[in-house]
């Protein structure tokens, strides 16, 4: 795998954006930029898995270097992951 610094920065930006959009869709926002990046990448893994399991079409994928990043499925996967986290954690009322 040939991943340059430029490609890594672009992947981090795209992962952060997809994670942030997923957090907004789920309506539960906890954490900052690094959390959004992690959610974007984990959402991409969940989304890619769902695409393969259910034989869904890959709607919009971005090719960065040699890496394919499924944008739409990353957003959906991040939203599902954030919704699950929101259900598992208690809200604190002051």
pLDDT at 56: 86
Tens digits of pLDDT across the chain (94 residues): 567 888 778 878 888 888 888 888 887 777 778 888 888 888 878 888 888 899 888 888 888 777 777 888 888 888 888 888 878 876 665 5
In this prediction, residue 88 carries a pLDDT of: 83
**Which of 52, 51, 47, 39 has the alpha carbon at shortest distance from 12?**
39
Which tokens in the block code for residue 63? 């090719």
Whole-number pLDDT of residue 46:
83
What is the residue-wise DSSP string for the chain? ----HHHHHHHHHHHHHHHHHHHHHHT---S-HHHHHHHHHHHHHHHHHHHHHHT-----EEEETTEEEEHHHHHHHHHHHHHHHHHHSPPP--
Q: Note the pLDDT of residue 90.
A: 67
pTM metric for this prediction: 0.77
Q: Give the tokens for residue 23.
A: 């957090």
| Tokens (6 digits) for 16 | 């952060």
């Amino acid at each position: 795998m040939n991943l340059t610094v430029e490609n890594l920065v672009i992947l981090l930006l795209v992962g952060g954006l997809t994670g942030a959009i997923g957090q907004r869709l789920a309506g539960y926002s906890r954490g900052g930029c690094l959390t959004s990046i992690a959610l974007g990448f984990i959402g991409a893994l969940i989304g890619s898995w769902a695409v393969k399991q259910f034989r869904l079409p890959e709607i919009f994928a971005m090719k960065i270097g040699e890496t394919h990043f499924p944008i739409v499925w990353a957003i959906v996967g991040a939203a599902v992951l954030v919704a699950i986290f929101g259900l598992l954690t208690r809200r604190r009322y002051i």
